[in-house]
Structure 1
Amino acid sequence: MQATVLIADDSIQNLEILQKYLDNAVFEYEIFEANNGEEACEIAENEVVDLILLDWEMPVMKGIDALRRLKAQEKTKTIPIIMVTGRAESEDLKEAFDAGATDYVEKPVREKELQARVESAIKLYKAMSLIKEQNIEIEKQKEMIESQANRELSVKAMESYQKNQMLETIYAELGKVSKMTEGEANKKLQKVLRLIKESLAFEDEWKNFVTHFEKVHPSFFRTLKSQCPQLTTEDLKHCAYIRIYLSNKEIAQLLNITPKSVITHHHRIKKKMALSDELKFADYIRSLGE
């Protein structure tokens, strides 16, 4: 295991002893040195450091003050810090741990104890860092999968819209033909017209969409209905289309209304759900069921 250790102590002798002990360890450590807390903070903020050995009593800035500063900085707050101190009182140790210390080593420092505590702290730090990286990667993968699924849902919704647009056109054209026919032919055309008109109903298409939607966002409708049971099917359609990032224009096309009507409907849903005016409706809807 290779790691970088920052040692902060105002005593040259103590620095030499601590470095010697780490040089004798099984693992290989790259060492940075600082003579006070402020210098230690500057090094930690500008270098990659895996662990800090921090003396309590130092000039310019005490170790305990440096500890608080390091734990307050985004870049350094997760670095494990071992306090090296002659203070063994429980109040002092509590103060150090409350400030964010990982561990402490009592002076005079024992070589094997130092090596064991440093090794343990670094292993834990690296393991936690790896888990954090893996979690970030998992979240990225989840976002990619959800984004792809939302795109597929959008395609299905648009396909439904195009299908119904086509049927509307056929219906209109057959309507013209029916006016020019007589007798049995006209009856057959009327039957075809009825069948096509019935197929224009959105209910089956909506049910099909919901089936696919709930595979991607299984708790969305349940959460929405639990918060506002009075939402209608039309309201749920609007919310679902918002959840998959369709624009107002795209929603208008799907529901055969104007974009202005979409905005008006969203205001009505927001009022029905008793949401505050400051809350962005689309952002809120997209946060549900995550």
Structure 2
Amino acid sequence: MKLYPIEAGNFKLDGGAMFGVVPKSLWNRTNPADSNNMIDIAARCLLIEDGDRLILIDTGLGDKQSEKFFSYYFQWGDDNIDKSLKKNGFHRDDVTDVFMTHLHFDHCGGSIQWNKDRTGYEPAFKNARFWSNEEHWKWATEPNDREKASFLKENIIPMEQSGKLHFIEREANKSFIDKNPLGFGVLFVDGHTDKQMIPHIEYKGKKLVFMADLLPTAGHIPLPYVMGYDTRPLLTLPEKKQFLEKAADEDYYLFMEHDAHNEIITLKHTEKGVRLDQSHRFDEIFN
């Protein structure tokens, strides 16, 4: 097995929305805002090369939305999936599986693209299967009013129409980590959105966890620092507490999907609770 960070592009989100009830005077220390109150956000995906499988976890925003849509998110830098795949010796047609932690547009938008004559949509990874889970799929395709703007039909329905959509099933015993057909463990969490999936990967003798929106940035480590986007913030708190304590106890390496400035972090126990231990580049740890 070999892992590769894949940079799908950077953008910005409102700092207040990203930190909920936490005052700007506190979160601005770790995630400084610009003049529009926007903070830097990454769309950092993970590619897993395992035998004849090439598995991509999440796909970023993609590029099919309107100019008006993208104007809300202040994209910056020149990273994209194709450039990042090429840098690592791959093409999107090599991808065999696309695993989506959840179906918010900034996690799955790159899974679907315009067709050649822009009359409809098609899979952006033509040889890949798409993986979600049945409960989250129902949640996304019958969205509540609060999340409706995050679950865009053009990102989601074409996966089903392609005939390549597959569901990962959660084990009946609801263990902390459930194994899935792609060979890595998955933690199911419900605070941010229903049945978000957090991949756990054993790699080179270490436990690497793809954080998705359970921990968006290193600045979100303190327990009350919960996004305004979370649908069940009072559920995020115990889910996050249990995970962070386990991650500190067992020396997990956390792969940060949305932290533009911290690629991998580790945690430690302190008198104030679990806090940041170290920040690393991916190749410093897994060279």
**TM-score interval (norm. to shorter):** under 0.3
TM-score by length of 1: 0.22
Greater share of residues in helix: 1
Greater share of residues in strand: 2
Larger radius of gyration: 1
